[in-house]
Every structure is written in C-alpha cells, then in structure tokens.
Amino acid sequence: MIEKTEAIVLAVRPFSRTSLMVTWLTRDFGRIVTPVRGANRPKSHFLGQIDIAYRSELLFYIRNSNGVHNIRETTPLDYRDGLRGNWRNAVAADYICSLTAQSVETLLDAQGLYGDLDSALSTLAAGADAVDAVIRYEFALAGRLGISPDFSHCRECPSRTRDRCRFAIPDGHLTCPLRNGFSYSSDTVALEPGLLEALRQVKGGAPVSAVGGECALGVRRFMGMFLSHHLDLPLQSRRAAFAWLSLPANATAGA
C-alpha cells in the first residue's frame, strides 16, 4: 500500500556503491528508514532530491516490518537554503537531525516532534543563533519523549533551606541530601543557584545566550549529561557539534 506524507531527512548513509539508506522523521508515521537503490547513479531520479534537513513530500510502500519501507518518490518542499552559506547553523542542523534519528523509536506518534524539528531547522536556516536553537530543541525533544527535567523546588527538604539540594539525573528532579536514606552518587549533581535559575529560564523558553557565559555553559553541560543518561546514547555527535560551535563566528569551515 502506498502512503503519502511529509518528512524531514534525518540521516543519509551509503549502503552500497550507488545506494543510500535514508532515515526520515515523517509527520504521520514517526521515524522510518528507506533504502534508496541506485540513488547515486547519474540518471537516478533521486539524484539531488535527498539531503539532511530537507522537508519533503514522501511516497513510500508501507510494510509491517521494523520501520524499513521502500520509497516510491520524494520531492523536496524546503531545501533549507539558508544553511548552505552558514556552516555553524549547518553543523547545528546536522546534529539535531542525528539526535532525532537516534532517539525516536519507529512508529512513535511524532506529529508534535515533527513540528518542533521543522521549526528548529527553519529557525537555523533563517540565521538564528546555533547554540540557542540546539538547546531549545533538546528541551523540546526531552518534553516530547516524556523525560523533561523538572527544576521546581526540592520537595524532599526536611527544612526549607534549599541550599544543599542536588539534581537526581535518573529521577529528573531535585533531591535532598538532608533526607533519610540519601546517598551521594555520580547520579546526582550539585547545581549552583544561578545555574538552577538559568535552567528554569531556558526550559521556559529563554534563549540560552541570554543567561550569561558561565550559566550558558552549565546549561549546555547539564543537557549533555541528562540526555546521555536518559536516551542511552553515545553523544559523540553532540560533543563534535559543540566543538565546532565554540570556534569563533568568523572561522571558516576549512580552517
């Protein structure tokens, strides 16, 4: 049966000399994978039609299998042209696509996430700050996956001092060393009051660039720890992306 939907290209990898394996986030079917045979042959009608971050119309043959389906045709609706002359934003777009490919299960109802990703990529293509867009999308993704960190006040404080509370990464909320049975472990981290406030603001929609240098770095590191714990992913692509993004804005990609 042929299905038609809109989809964003999350990842493209070669699977033979001329063929590609393409991962998509579809609006209506969650994440799917389509082999594209002969995609790199000069006469292939797929040539130039598929690249990371494109938003496209996709026709495919749906099968009841592990999320792998045969593609019929695809037509790009948005090439994200703005990413072409802006390597920082292209790095950011590539990373959020790869993060989505790794963390979203097949056939998850992903309509909300599809909108979040499309809007993050459009923002990047329009020239928004790359780090702001990445962090905002990571918070949105965590929310859609039901693992949003909760930065509200510690509910375990026996006193109301709230000055020693730590964040329990696995539980996703603040926890209190003063309560019975608490044990220090690498799963809990201390958050300075300034950083905690910054995390609240960024979760609430403030751009991370607005919270100031030290705290911005803290927010970034916190999300790295949090996502790698909850998504059970090796986040090398995140480290690589932030290494690029920490280069000065006027650096060139070849430098």
Interaction site with Zn ion (CB under 5 A): 154, 157, 165, 176
* Closer residue to Zn ion, CB minimum distance, 35 or 177: 177
Residue type, 8: I
Smallest separation, CB 172 to Zn ion (Å): 15
Report the sign of the C-alpha dihedral through residues 28, 29, 31, 36, in that order: negative
Smallest separation, CB 165 to Zn ion (Å): 3
* Closer residue to Zn ion, CB minimum distance, 39 or 165: 165
Smallest separation, CB 195 to Zn ion (Å): 16
Residue entry with tokens 């809109």: 6
* Closer residue to Zn ion, CB minimum distance, 41 or 153: 153
Smallest separation, CB 174 to Zn ion (Å): 6
* Closer residue to Zn ion, CB minimum distance, 87 or 182: 182
